[in-house]
Structure formats: structure tokens, C-alpha cells
Amino acid sequence: ISAKTPQVISVVAADTDNGDSYWSNGDTLTITFDSDTDTPPVATETEISRIMTFDPPLGTSYAGQWVTSSVLVITVDDTSHPDRDANNVDNITFAFTENVLATGQVFTNPYLYGVPSNNPHCVGTQVCGWNASSGSVGICSADQLSCRARGTYVITSG
């Protein structure tokens, strides 16, 4: 692996129309990385969920757009969801999905299948981009020569 893995430097929730003081339809989540990424597809909720998960969920409908190769903006179209308090964005976290091998097994253990690795997010087929056989998607460096981004982040109001 020769390229630097993109790191999240900020995650900010914003009310784009300043129409209210709580998480509502049309609000955005901006995720900024410290370097250019390979900008995997994020146009739909399904595409975003292949890359990252939210706890509790952002809502029932949202879409993303890469505004630059290092800035992803997710717009929430419908914040309603039975598993979250629609008025509270400060308790939402997101985490990158784990690497999924072509066999469908999630690779999180450094010694899974006898493969020694201190970087399980670097092991497997198509670590970067979309692995069609498993549905796994990783955000990597623009040249796709890095490990996939990983970690859990807290959303802050902006």
C-alpha cells in the first residue's frame, strides 16, 4: 500500500435554510477528508449505506454528492425514522463499513483466515471502490492505492 489513507478532518451538520433549530428535512451533513478520495458513488441512500452507517439513522431518505474529491455532502430528504429522535443531531455517529471479502465475510480481525495483518481495512479483493461480489465499498485515496478509510465519528452541529 503506497498511498496515504484519507482521514476525516471534520463532520458538520447544518441547517441550510436556517428555518429551524433542529434536524429537519433539507439539512446537510458535510464530511471533509484531509486528501483527495476516489469518490465512490453516493447518489442514493443505498450507495451511502455501502460506505458508512449512521447510529441512530439520519432518516428514511437521504442522498449524497461529492462537491470536491475531498468533501462529501449528504442531504437528508426525510428525517423521520422510528429509531431516532428527529430533533437531536448531536447524538448521531457514523462509521465506515468494514472490508468485506469476496466470500462475504467481514474482515475485521487481524488474523482472519490465517492472514496476519495489523491493517484489516487493507486486506481483501477490491479494498477500494466497489466490490460487486460483496456489495462492500471503501473510500480510499484518489489513485486507489491506499487502505480504506475507517473509524467512527461524532456529528457536530455547525
- Residue type for position 150: R
Q: How crowded is residue 31: how many other Cβ atoms within 10 Å of its Cβ?
A: 22
The pLDDT of residue 157 is 60
Within 8 A by CB and 6+ apart from 4, the residues are 35, 141, 146
pLDDT surpasses 50 at 116: no
As a whole number, mean pLDDT of residues 124-145 equals: 68
pLDDT surpasses 90 at 124: no
C-alpha cell at 140: 480510499
The pLDDT of residue 73 is 97
As a whole number, mean pLDDT of residues 92-118 equals: 62
Say if residue 2 is exposed, middle or buried (CB neighbours under 10 Å; 0-12, 13-18, 19+): exposed
pLDDT surpasses 50 at 1: no
Q: What is the pLDDT of residues 30-57, one digit of tens each?
A: 999 999 998 988 999 988 988 898 888 8
Quote the pTM value.
0.81
What percentage of the chain carries pLDDT values higher than 90? 20
